[in-house]
Structure 1
Amino acid sequence: MNISRMKSSCPPMKDEEWPVEIAEMKAGFAGSLNVYRTMAHHPALLKAWAPLRQHIVKDSALGPVRSELVILRAAHRMGSAYEWAHHVIRARALGISDARIREMGGTPAGEDGLIARAVDALFDNARLSTEIEQALSSSMGTQAVLDLIATVGFYSVLGYMLMTFNTPIDEHVADEMAKRPI
């Protein structure tokens, strides 16, 4: 994945620029990452985004490990260096091995392969085939299938924003990736 060095036309907002109408969000998730500091240029969108983010990131029926695998595959498919780097760090924090993380950029086997095929189907066909949907439902349940679809959509939208505005990878993530490349 190519990390663009171009200057952003919509850079992450600095603390002193933070919009007053979302002042309460700066101390939480929104102020902690460049993706949300970029989205802060549109306070109403960031406010509307927060409840869906809570579900996708914290409350998904996929659970944390499967969620990270879905996000890694989506980041790989989009070519989003920001999402890939951030979610390598999150995956490692969950105990996912570097080998397993790398496989999400290739052709993983087992349930990881099923997840990769599902993400690929959404990118390639805008839907899950009956075969993939039934395999996912049998393995994870219908709510997890719905959350997988929502997660791919959620992170695709973030990826579009990140890549459009050349949002820089957060410094702590870039430092960690430099110390421990995948």
Structure 2
Amino acid sequence: MTEEIGRIPAGGFRELGPINWVLAKSAARTVRAPRMHLFATLGQHKRLFLAMMPFSALLLRGRLPQVDTELVILRVAHLRGSEYELQHHRWMGRRRGLDDHTQELIFAWPDTSGGDLTDRQKTLLRATDEFILNRAISPEVWQQLSSHLDKRQIIEFCMLAGQYDSLAATMSALQIPLDNPGQSDRYR
């Protein structure tokens, strides 16, 4: 099987430099992939990548509970059809408490009554949908969100949804291939 190549081929040591090469190799090991194409591509813009990494890491382990973070990321990935994000974050979501049934409810939202979703999860899904699809949050959903999150968490929610929307668009435009194409974790 030949490796799929994006519009900007994944870089090696020369293109990434020592720091980004180590980060890309470490990330690939973490996700059990031969190569983490996202890091091996974006890492070719050395300064931008090094600036983005702490911000992304902070969002993944910020003030929002990790289960909420993964719910938002999965919803953004679903809305944007980002198979790359879904492949990584379905697995991460399971580790954070979002089992396959809950993930299916996240992807089916709002065409389902929400079934086993909590009021907090439904509110996060409403807010994510409005943020991504409308670039705004209505007063009604803002009030609901405010009943679950404090002001710092709301700021973080917006930055998280925006970051993963941006990543989905970047991966799509650059046609970054999946890290484990044979193990595609379909979400539909």
TM-score of the aligned structures, taking structure 2 as reference length: 0.80
Equivalent residue number for residue 102 of structure 1:
104
Match of 2:46 among 28, 43, 46: 43
Indicate how the Cα distance of structure 1 residues 95 and 124 shifts in structure 2: closer, same or farther if over 3 A, else same. closer
The CA distance in 1 between the partners of 2:131 and 2:25, in whole Å, is 28
Contact persistence 2:24–2:40 (CA under 8 A): no
Indicate how the Cα distance of structure 1 residues 174 and 24 shifts in structure 2: closer, same or farther if over 3 A, else same. same
Number of corresponding residues: 171
Report the RMSD for the aligned CA atoms in angstroms: 2.4
Identity of aligned residues (%): 23
Indicate how the Cα distance of structure 1 residues 81 and 88 shifts in structure 2: closer, same or farther if over 3 A, else same. same
- What is the correspondence of 1:26-65 to structure 2 with a 5 Å cutoff? 26-28=21-23, 32=27, 33-58=36-61, 60-65=62-67
- What is the correspondence of 1:118-157 to structure 2 with a 5 Å cutoff? 118-157=127-166
Indicate how the Cα distance of structure 1 residues 41 and 31 shifts in structure 2: closer, same or farther if over 3 A, else same. farther
Tell me the SS of whatever aligns to 2:185.
helix
1:120 shift after superposition = 0.8
Structure 2 residue runs of 5 or longer lacking an equivalent are 28-35
Indicate how the Cα distance of structure 1 residues 8 and 62 shifts in structure 2: closer, same or farther if over 3 A, else same. same
Tell me the SS of whatever aligns to 2:75.
helix
Structure 1 runs (4+) greater than 6 angstroms displaced: none
Indicate how the Cα distance of structure 1 residues 76 and 177 shifts in structure 2: closer, same or farther if over 3 A, else same. closer
Deviations 1:31-86 (A, max 9, x none): 5232121101211210121221121112x211210000000000011111111111
Match of 1:70 among 72, 77, 84: 72
Q: What is the one-letter code of the residue matched to 1:53?
A: S
